[in-house]
């Protein structure tokens, strides 16, 4: 007969408690981190020499220190460059954010031929004020499109009423 051996240790319950505390702590950090949603004008038609298409950004948000948006690029004529490095963000005070945070960026790179569409997240680590402007540039730094970001102010949560009526 083969039996099983169950091992019990105070360290086992301590590690469960530590794991629970870590999960609760991380949840609180995520809950208390500055967040925000923003709006931008609709997509832009861009034309660069013989190339043309539409570029749009959506799902603009800020979670903690990460500013991100979904970029959609559709080529109608020629080919358009796709690269997270062609995006930048700028705050109202002039602070520039030009290096994407690649751990949160999913937009690929390449040349997008006519009739094709590319879509992905572009994210930046924000070390100062929130961006109010997003720009998309061509291969040689030509500004192809710009969006003004208007941050929404969340409504304050209603105060809970006293259970005792006063």
Residue 138 in any domain: the answer is: yes
Q: Which domain holds residue 120?
A: 35-151
CATH number, domain containing residue 91: 2.60.40.1240
Q: Is the full-model pTM beyond 0.75?
A: no
Which tops the pLDDT comparison, 66 or 81?
A: 66
Find the Cα–Cα–Cα–Cα dihedral 8, 10, 12, 13, rounded to 10°: 120
Residue 48: which pLDDT band, with cuts at 50, 70 and 90?
low
Residue 85 in any domain: the answer is: yes
Identify the weakest region by mean pLDDT among 31-45, 47-61, 70-84, 116-130: 31-45
Kindly give the pairing relationship between strand 96-97 and strand 131-137.
unpaired
Residue 165 in any domain: the answer is: no
Task: Please write the tens of the pLDDT for every residue from 15-36.
Answer: 444 444 443 343 333 333 444 5
Task: Please write the tens of the pLDDT for every residue from 111-135.
Answer: 999 999 999 999 999 999 999 999 9
Residue 162 in any domain: the answer is: no
Phi, psi of 107, deg, nearest 5: -70, 130
Number of separate domains in the chain:
1
């Amino acid at each position: 007969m083969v039996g099983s051996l169950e091992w019990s240790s105070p360290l086992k319950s301590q590690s469960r408690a530590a794991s629970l505390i870590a999960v609760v702590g991380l949840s609180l950090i995520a809950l208390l981190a500055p967040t925000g949603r923003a709006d931008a004008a609709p997509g832009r038609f861009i034309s660069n020499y013989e190339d043309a298409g539409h570029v749009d950004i959506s799902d603009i948000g800020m979670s903690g220190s990460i500013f991100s948006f979904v970029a959609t690029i559709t080529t109608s004529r020629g080919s358009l460059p796709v690269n997270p490095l062609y995006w930048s963000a700028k705050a109202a005070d002039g602070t520039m954010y030009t290096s994407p945070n690649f751990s949160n960026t999913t937009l690929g790179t390449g040349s997008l031929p006519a009739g094709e569409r590319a879509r992905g997240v572009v994210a930046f680590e924000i070390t100062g004020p929130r961006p109010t402007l997003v720009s998309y540039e061509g291969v040689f730094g030509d500004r192809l499109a710009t969006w003004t970001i208007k941050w929404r102010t969340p409504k304050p949560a209603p105060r809970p009423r006293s259970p005792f009526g006063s």
